[in-house]
């Protein structure tokens, strides 16, 4: 019996050896492209460029790594290009967001990708904050409903603004959204130029670009998107613990009552997906096994590199990147959005913001 077991183990090891050798050699002498669906300078682009600086040192074969920006339609242009035009050989990776995955899952018109075409490799959580122009006269978040008829939001696509739009819906407020901007950097410029007076930004942009406007008295923070804890409750973002969440503002407006109803249920489902999957590095599902094995080995090595962790910490504003089982759980939670939540959200976006679904 022991001889049989030992023979089986030897056979298994022998069969794995060629795959390991293939993985080690797969990227030697090659170039890996990180495709980003947003303009340079935004949070997703910053995330990709930190990866590009370090991943080449960890992937077996040490390939050169470059970043290619293809902005348009909230990353849908790049996503469509990736699944329909890029060779699925593992040499091009998609750097996406939770909003992109939500857009694909909801079936928003224009997307030709399916969730199953992407194989996530690693992710980083990203919080968000909604803020308003100081000249609106909003002194505290509870003033939002009284100003609803004057709120104008610049958007890089409905899903890029879903945290702000749906958060305000929970508070009983719907706003005018002007679409057509390429990315969050452009919507922030629109806010600064006075084309919009309410905006939401990911935490890196908020800390680096919005906080100075707040310090100068030009902007007022309203609420953070918040994080969902292990008990399924919305809690304060650890990067801005003093900012209220949408739930906190709702309670203040409703005599301490907790939020409920379809808008709240959809908001929680959306937050669970877009915060934990704020930035996602993905490879095509049809990539060769040897390529995926080499990429996973490189990512696991990189996630143990203190130099990388220090630099990605600044890009993610203190949130820790992750892979493996934790990533699989986050993806599963995203796909688990209930049919009722999905239908309500589709109806809301279609009615209020002219979104169209396939």
pLDDT at 2 over 50: no
Average pLDDT of span 45-68? 96
Task: Considering only residues 41 and 10, tell me which one the structure prediction assigns the higher pLDDT.
Answer: 41
| Residue 116 burial class via C-beta count within 10 angstroms: exposed 0-12, middle 13-18, buried 19 and up | exposed
Q: What is the pLDDT of residues 170-210, one digit of tens each?
A: 999 988 889 888 778 889 999 999 999 999 998 888 988 99
- Would you say the C-alpha torsion 259, 131, 186, 91 has a positive or negative sign? negative
Average pLDDT of span 58-65? 97
On average, the pLDDT of the chain sits at 90
Q: What is the pLDDT of residues 108-138, one digit of tens each?
A: 889 999 999 999 999 999 999 999 999 999 9
pLDDT for the residue 132: 97
Under a CB-based contact definition with an 8 Å cutoff, are residues 207 and 170 in contact? Answer: no
Average pLDDT of span 37-57? 92
pLDDT for the residue 8: 53
Domains of the chain: 22-125+277-335 (3.40.190.150), 128-274 (3.40.190.10)
**pLDDT class for 11, splitting at 50, 70, 90?**
low
pLDDT for the residue 272: 83
Under a CB-based contact definition with an 8 Å cutoff, are residues 101 and 119 in contact? Answer: no
Model pTM?
A: 0.81
Under a CB-based contact definition with an 8 Å cutoff, are residues 299 and 122 in contact? Answer: yes
Cβ contacts of 128 within 8 Å, gap of 6 or more: 163, 164, 200, 201, 202, 203, 206, 224, 225, 275
């Amino acid at each position: 019996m022991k001889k049989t077991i030992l023979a089986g183990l030897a056979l298994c090891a022998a069969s794995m050896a060629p795959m390991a050798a293939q993985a080690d050699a797969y990227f030697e002498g090659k170039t890996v492209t990180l495709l980003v669906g947003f303009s340079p300078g935004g949070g997703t682009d910053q995330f990709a460029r930190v990866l590009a600086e370090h991943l080449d040192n960890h992937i077996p074969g040490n390939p050169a790594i470059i970043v290619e920006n293809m902005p348009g339609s909230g990353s849908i242009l790049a996503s469509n290009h990736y699944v329909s035009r890029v060779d699925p050989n593992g040499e091009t990776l998609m750097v996406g967001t939770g909003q992109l995955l939500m857009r694909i899952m909801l079936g928003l018109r224009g997307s030709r990708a399916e969730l199953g075409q992407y194989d996530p490799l690693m992710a980083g959580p990203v919080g968000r904050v909604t803020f308003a122009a100081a000249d609106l006269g909003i002194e505290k978040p509870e003033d939002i409903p009284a100003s609803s008829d004057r709120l104008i939001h610049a958007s890089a696509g409905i899903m890029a603004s879903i945290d702000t739009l749906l958060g305000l819906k929970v508070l009983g407020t719907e706003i005018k959204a002007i679409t057509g901007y390429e990315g969050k950097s452009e919507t922030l410029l629109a806010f600064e130029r006075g084309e919009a007076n309410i905006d939401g930004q990911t935490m890196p942009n908020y800390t680096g670009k919005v906080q100075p406007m707040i310090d100068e008295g030009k902007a007022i923070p309203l609420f953070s998107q918040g994080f969902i804890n292990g008990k399924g409750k919305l809690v304060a973002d650890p990067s801005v613990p003093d900012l209220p969440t949408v739930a906190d503002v709702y309670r203040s407006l409703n005599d301490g009552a907790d939020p409920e109803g379809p808008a709240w249920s959809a908001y929680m489902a959306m937050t669970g997906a877009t915060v934990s999957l704020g930035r996602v590095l993905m490879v095509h599902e049809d990539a060769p096994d040897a390529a995926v094995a080499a990429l996973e080995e490189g990512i696991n090595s990189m996630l143990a590199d203190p130099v990388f962790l220090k630099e990605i910490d600044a890009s993610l504003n203190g949130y820790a990147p992750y892979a493996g089982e934790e990533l699989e759980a986050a993806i599963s939670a995203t796909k688990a959005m209930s049919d009722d939540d999905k239908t309500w959200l589709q109806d809301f976006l279609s009615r209020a913001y002219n979104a169209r679904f396939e």
